Amino acid sequence: MKKVVLAYSGGLDTSVCIPLLREHYGYDEVIAVMVDVGQPEADIKEAKARAEKLSDRHKVIDALDEFVADYIFRLIKANGNYEGYVLGTAIARPLIAKKVVEVANDEKADAVAHGCTGKGNDQLRFDAVFRTSEFDVIAPMRELNLTREEEQKYAQEHGISFETEKRWSVDENIWSRSIEGSELEEPSFIPPEEIYQWTVSVAKAPETAELIKIGFEQGLPVSLNGTKMDGISLIQKLNEIGGKHGIGRTDMIEDRVLGYKARETYEHPAATILLRAHRDLEQLVLTRNELRFKDFADKTWSELVYQGLVMDPLFECLNAFVDKTQERVNGTEYVKLEKGVASVVGRESPDGIYSKDVSFDVKLEQEWAEGFSAYHGFQSRMASKIRTATKKK
Ligand code: ARG
């Protein structure tokens, strides 16, 4: 009995993988695993029904708490951002892969499988985690390289059908919704409003601004408008109110790991609001030195997440550094939501190192700055004087 555990989403690719794993790869038992990281309930229900029909056995694993606590919260602390992308899909993949490996261990399976193609980033993220185990790694979509027509024909022959033909490829979790494929692959194609489901257009956003207040403790959002909230509820609530104001749409050209450029569209209201507020609070409480160094650490952190290399020892080192800096990131951020824009309009913190009164330290006299001022720019002046002198010769 050869057993394989498949990371299952309910979409065409992963559905086709099930009969392929039996017929093409010779597995006797295919176990489909769905990992709930905040996809719409209807999607999970539909995927479950499909898995029931196609696979030998299936499991839905509720990983939302873990996703928010161990992945999204880390991302907020590290201001996770890759070329302007809030890393929604990227941050979820390692957790999904980890859950699949856990099931494979419990089931004493022979292999683990995913439905990613050979062009994207997700194959790398799944493979990287899968290969930390001893299981064989199978990627039917990548290995068989089927055309869309071949895939659809195969699906039809195996009773795999979808009520409505899906025009876009969507990947969704509590942090972001990513929409790609079909005409969107043409960078000049202007997306129709229908691709967006979490956010309204700026035109439809209310005329009146909404002021919200977010409380942070040790770098993490803990309250909204003075009410304590758990991470999941807070993110859901911000997605709702941010979306209503048309906040958090991204349409960008992104550098994939393999070197292709891709046109990507995303929506992520809560991520936009929280990342902006968090970074602003850091600006108030961290020293200039900490901020400069942390910018670089954050960027490196984001690159590792984008590449799916969260098992790299550097990731743990960076998290330790980030956690240390966050001890002082406490306070309140005032954010105005208006016509597609979330702007910080005020902030306060018991750990703030801003002082209206510079005599907080010693009684500072302005004239003391005179000497400092005279030295300031010495190298620059010298270089430009020499350049002018050589030009004259
Ligand atoms: N480009 C993004 C990433 O690599 C998102 C990919 C999402 N996939 C999708 N089917 N929409 O993280």
Residue 224 contacts residue 234 (beta carbons within 8 Å): yes
Distance 87 CA to ligand 1 centre (A): 9
Residue to mutate (ligand 1; options 14, 86, 89, 141; most atoms within 8 A of CB): 89
Residue of 174, 160, 128 lying closest to 308 (CA atoms): 128
The strand pair at 3-7 and 57-62 is best described as unpaired
State the pLDDT confidence band at 282, using cuts at 50, 70 and 90.
Answer: very high
Question: Which residue is listed with tokens 């160094």?
Answer: 293
Burial of 259 (0-12, 13-18, 19+ CB in 10 A): exposed
Shortest-distance atom of ligand 1 to CA 93? 12
Distance 228 CA to ligand 1 centre (A): 33
Q: Which two tokens stand for residue 387?
A: 């350049």
Question: How do residues 160-203 score in pLDDT, each as one tens digit?
Answer: 988 777 899 999 999 999 999 999 999 999 999 999 999 999 99
State the pLDDT confidence band at 356, using cuts at 50, 70 and 90.
Answer: confident
Residue 349 contacts residue 331 (beta carbons within 8 Å): yes
Q: Which two tokens stand for residue 303?
A: 């690159």
Distance 88 CA to ligand 1 centre (A): 8
Residue of 157, 258, 267 lying closest to 201 (CA atoms): 267
* CATH assignment of 3-167, among 3.40.50.720, 3.40.50.620, 3.40.630.10, 3.40.190.10: 3.40.50.620
Query: Which residue has its alpha carbon closest to ligand 1 atom 6?
Result: 89
Count Cβ atoms below 10 Å from residue 369 Cβ, excluding itself: 11
Catalytic residue ranges: 13, 93, 122, 169
State the average pLDDT over residues 212-226. 98
Q: Across the chain, how many H-helices and E-strands are there?
A: 14, 14
Pocket of ligand 1 (CB under 6 A): 89-90, 121, 169-171, 178, 180, 254, 264
Residue to mutate (ligand 1; options 254, 264, 303; most atoms within 8 A of CB): 264
The confidence score (pLDDT) of residue 392 equals 84
State the pLDDT confidence band at 4, using cuts at 50, 70 and 90.
Answer: very high
Q: Which two tokens stand for residue 91?
A: 């941050």
The DSSP secondary-structure symbol of 172 reads E
Question: How do residues 44-93 score in pLDDT, each as one tens digit?
Answer: 999 999 999 999 999 999 999 999 999 999 999 999 999 999 999 999 99
Distance 368 CA to ligand 1 centre (A): 55
The confidence score (pLDDT) of residue 393 equals 79
Which one-letter amino acid corresponds to residue 94?
P
The confidence score (pLDDT) of residue 333 equals 99
- The boundaries of every CATH 3.90.1260.10 domain in the chain are 172-348
The confidence score (pLDDT) of residue 358 equals 67
Among 110-119, 173-182, 211-220, 359-368, where is mean pLDDT lowest?
A: 359-368
**Mean pLDDT score of the chain:** 96
Distance 89 CA to ligand 1 centre (A): 6
Q: Which two tokens stand for residue 106?
A: 């419990």
Residue to mutate (ligand 1; options 14, 96, 121; most atoms within 8 A of CB): 121
Residue of 294, 259, 244, 292 lying closest to 79 (CA atoms): 294
Give the CATH fold of the 172-348 domain.
Answer: Argininosuccinate synthetase, chain A, domain 2 (3.90.1260)
Length of the chain: 393
Cα first-last separation, the chain: 87
- The boundaries of every CATH 3.40.50.620 domain in the chain are 3-167
Distance 256 CA to ligand 1 centre (A): 10
Residue of 269, 298, 268, 303 lying closest to 283 (CA atoms): 298
3-class secondary-structure state, position 266: strand
Residue 101 contacts residue 137 (beta carbons within 8 Å): no
Query: Which residue has its alpha carbon closest to ligand 1 atom 8?
Result: 171
What does the longest C-alpha to C-alpha distance in the chain come to?
87
Query: Which residue has its alpha carbon closest to ligand 1 atom 5?
Result: 89
Count Cβ atoms below 10 Å from residue 226 Cβ, excluding itself: 8
State the average pLDDT over residues 27-54. 97
Share of the chain above pLDDT 90, in %: 93
Residue of 220, 246, 244 lying closest to 232 (CA atoms): 220
Distance 201 CA to ligand 1 centre (A): 22
The confidence score (pLDDT) of residue 360 equals 63
Report angle CA 39, 170, 65 to the nearest 5 degrees: 20
